[in-house]
Amino acid sequence: MNVAKSGYRVFSANSSVACTELAKKITERLGVELGKSVVFQESNRETRVDVKESVRGQTIFIIQTIPRDVNTAIMELLVMAYALKTSCAKNIIGVIPYFPYSKQCKMRKRGSIVCKLLASMLAKAGLTHIITMDLHQKEIQGFFSFPVDNLRASPFLIQYIQEEIPDYRNAIIVAKSPAAAKRAQSFAERLRLGLAVIHGEAQCAESDMADGRHSPPCVRNTTGHTGLELPTGKQQAPFPGIELPIMMAKEKPPITVVGDVGGRIAIIVDDIIDDVGDFVAAAEILKERGAYRIYIMATHGLLSADAPRLIEESPINVVVVTNTVPHEVQKLQCPKIKTVDVSMILAEAIRRIHNGESMAYLFRNITVDD
């Protein structure tokens, strides 16, 4: 039995073995046992959770890593949180290193802000607090009605650069698009390195996506209109036509690299690496501009579809990601992928929250744009 003398218990909400590795590392650092529970899928794919020990009056931490089957992982988390709530747990805190649907945090056409919907579902299920890491947009924290601690992986990635990249003083930090420039600037300032930004037609920013709300209004054809006939026989002046300034369509310039990367190590930094097409295109441009070694540094290595094969065939030398998302299969397919363990900071966050200690220590020397 997970007898937590410290007064809290830690559970894993994952049904797959690969996804429980992070939870095991966190509990080892905390010196507690992983709570006994069974999470599985019925034959009809329904999620079932069975908590095997009493949680009455306890503070519970649920660790949930997100595999490729995102929707199943969300249901596992929701069902477990509700099971703990109905079992009279005092506080239910979700540890979700990679928050799913974080890219869907803005209105697109006639869609919806799915990230806000998920935040409401978690609150309804019984969660009272969330620990996550490197949200895609920091404003996502405002979607929640309870506290959210958005930890940063940058100290671990910077440590990797300093310890594992030979001659890193000859490196330059690269933003693969202007949107990633703030994060890249934060890395560059802390490492005392230069900064380069890739800009041009190869990039497709979120802000360029078609949005129906910006469609021009329909203008009626008023040709031949002589005015409205009033009962008195007089005519009213015609309704003036709508005249808006002509808005020129966006056209990105040819791809350019702002900054000198010739004869240097290029380190591209971002928060998520999923579809690697943009990263491969950026690496090819940097190689053409004279960079002799190319690294990719990202917090969440989703690495979907053919990402391992594309990385292996590209000029990219090393891809460094954290273990917020399980990617052991991708590492077997591509030896260029390296992993940085962040279980230390997640375990420390759990300890501090339970003991009522300040979280400021975990954010020391970290800027808002990081």
Number of folded domains that form the chain? 2
57 and 172 together in one domain: no
The number of beta carbons lying within 10 Å of the beta carbon of residue 303 is: 26
Task: Read off the amino acid at residue 71.
Answer: N
- How far is 357 from 17, CA to CA, in rounded Å? 32
pLDDT in tens, 26-43: 999 999 999 999 999 999
- Looking at residue 205, its pLDDT comes to 47
- Looking at residue 200, its pLDDT comes to 79
- Looking at residue 322, its pLDDT comes to 97
pTM: 0.85
CATH code at position 18: 3.40.50.2020
187 and 283 together in one domain: yes
Q: Are 319 and 301 in contact (CB under 8 A)?
A: yes
Q: Are 140 and 105 in contact (CB under 8 A)?
A: yes
299 and 171 together in one domain: yes
pLDDT in tens, 149-176: 999 999 999 999 999 998 999 999 999 9
The number of beta carbons lying within 10 Å of the beta carbon of residue 220 is: 10
- Looking at residue 7, its pLDDT comes to 81
> Which parts of the chain have pLDDT scores under 70?
1-6, 201-242, 244, 247
- Looking at residue 347, its pLDDT comes to 97
71 and 192 together in one domain: no
159 and 87 together in one domain: no
- How far is 14 from 210, CA to CA, in rounded Å? 37
Q: Given 136, 151, 166, which residue is the final one in a domain? A: 151
83 and 139 together in one domain: yes
- Looking at residue 254, its pLDDT comes to 77
Structure tokens at 109: 């056409």
| Cα dihedral 88, 94, 99, 101 in deg (nearest 10) | 0
Q: Is residue 209 part of a domain?
A: no
What is residue 369's three-state secondary structure?
A: coil
* Domain residue limits at 192: 155-202+254-340
- Looking at residue 366, its pLDDT comes to 80
- Looking at residue 218, its pLDDT comes to 52
- Based on its alpha-carbon atoms, the radius of gyration of the chain, rounded to whole angstroms, reads 26
- How far is 43 from 210, CA to CA, in rounded Å? 41
- How far is 63 from 121, CA to CA, in rounded Å? 17
